[in-house]
Amino acid sequence: MLEIKELKSPPSLELFSELVELLQDAVAGGASIGWVQPPSTKEARNYWTEVLEAVGRGERMLLVATDNHVCAGAVQVLLGQKQNARHRGEVQKLMVHSQYRRRGIGQALIGAIEKAAAARGLTLLVLDVRSGDEAERLYRRCGYEFVGSIPGFLQSAGGGFDPTSIYYRRLAASGQA
Ligand SMILES: CC(C)(COP(=O)(O)OP(=O)(O)OC[C@H]1O[C@@H](n2cnc3c(N)ncnc32)[C@H](O)[C@@H]1OP(=O)(O)O)[C@@H](O)C(=O)NCCC(=O)NCCS
């Protein structure tokens, strides 16, 4: 059974290892989410440790999807910290493990993080995605508005550079930040 939960406290060691594997799987599959080469296990563990610390400081939201208690995907929102930015967040690192794709989990993660963000009082989400990626279709399907694209924004594994597309979506706030 698919469950999507916001992670607010440190995960079990098992879930932590699955998050490490999720990141490595995504980058190995060619995802443009910050790495050109797949991170080593140590690098991936350090990455998630920093994410979880930021979650603990209230700077990030992290939602994890599990299928029968096994991690299938995750998504984050980096929360605006400046006084004039507390109503907005940046959707980052949407990942669904390659074994769980094309079942609607990506779309469900976006729906869930929008709901959680609105409940915190956020009224605006922004994001960027490598132009033409499957994720771009997903964001459009979820109602994100295209702003424009920036050529040469992302370095690719082949050594070239790819454009990125910028999107936003307004949320109807359902709670207080
Ligand atoms: C982008 C990503 C998160 C999508 O995850 P996903 O769980 O496969 O997403 P969904 O299942 O919601 O949608 C993907 C496709 O499956 C289709 N789909 C959804 N449910 C389906 C089902 N039950 N049966 C068949 N197809 C289905 C969707 O219509 C969509 O099709 P399209 O791409 O042709 O329009 C995933 O491919 C991924 O992790 N990529 C690597 C990381 C990455 O690039 N992240 C983006 C960072 S900006």
What's the pLDDT score for residue 141?
98
**74-126: pLDDT as tens digits:** 999 999 999 999 999 999 999 999 999 999 999 999 999 999 999 999 999 99
3-state helix, strand, coil in the chain (%, to 5): 35, 35, 30
Q: Residue for token digits 């694209």?
A: 149
Unique residue bearing structure tokens 């610390």: 53
Nearest atom, ligand 1, residue 30 CA: 41
User: Closest residue (by CA) to atom 18 of ligand 1?
Assistant: 102
User: Which residue is it, tokens 């999720």?
Assistant: 22
- 55 CB contacts (<8 Å, ≥6 apart)? 7, 8, 61, 62
Closest residue by Cα to atom 23, ligand 1, is 103
- CA of 105 relative to ligand 1 center, distance in Å: 7
Which of 126, 138, 167 gets mutated to test ligand 1 (max ligand atoms within 8 A of its CB)?
138
Domain 2-121: what homologous superfamily?
Answer: Gcn5-related N-acetyltransferase (GNAT) (3.40.630.30)
Tens digits of per-residue pLDDT, 22-79? 999 999 999 999 999 999 999 999 999 999 999 999 999 999 999 999 999 999 999 9
Pocket test of ligand 1: the residue of 77, 103, 136 to mutate, having most ligand atoms within 8 Å of its CB, is 103
Tell if the pTM clears 0.85, that is, is over it: yes
pLDDT in tens, 119-170: 999 999 999 999 999 999 999 999 999 999 999 999 998 889 999 999 999 9
Residue spans of the domains in the chain: they are 2-121
Q: The tokens 């979820």 sit on which residue?
A: 142
